[in-house]
Amino acid sequence: MLSAAVALSACASKPPNERETGSGGDFIRYSSRQVSVDLTDKQRETLRSLRDHRFVAPTAGKMLDAVAAALKQQGFDPVSVDREMAVVEADRHAVLVPQWRQILRGVLKSKIGGLPAKPDHERMAAIIAVRAAEGGGGAGGWWVRVRFDRTVWDSNGDARTETVLTRETYDGFFVDVDKSLRGELKPKPSSSTQAPAAASAATSTQ
């Protein structure tokens, strides 16, 4: 009865913008749990103030190349460019704890169990659209619209996905796009385990 009351209380207190896209079970845990957090009206306003920037580039192709180069500079890999739709998509993964700590935690969990879950892996997903500004692109410029979504997995395998709403993350990306267009961006080897400086600020609002 007590466990049932706790479960019902947890359900009742869950924010209305959280969607459980994969259930791990309420009374008996049989799988991992996945949660997606939708933006509130206020957060949508915040995103609208962050996501768009206008650039000047001779062609849409040059603009897409600059976007792809900026993402690679920030450690995203792979980076996929759809030139027909003028859309770029990319992923970046980072391990949040050292391997020795993961192993130690696994040993302790197997012996005593009941350890609280801790974040241990994150995925940053980026989707960018390029559209012609007034004048049809070229001298008229191009609008670049980006959205970053962050998924964090914990040591129980549970995942939580939220949209990143920190200005530093978006502004840092646009700075690198501008550098790429100017030929000032130095190539950086991609890494699937190391997050760049922008990732440290990439926390989303609760």
pLDDT of residue 87: 98
Residue 197 is predicted with a pLDDT of: 38
* Angle (CA) 125 201 106, round 5°: 70
CA distance 148 to 134: 26
pLDDT of residue 205: 40
- Contact, 21 vs 15, CB < 8 A? no
Confidence of residue 81 (pLDDT cuts 50, 70, 90): very high
Position 206 pLDDT exceeds 80: no
97, HSE (Cβ side, Cα atoms, 13 Å): 17
Flag whether pLDDT at 143 surpasses 60.
Answer: yes
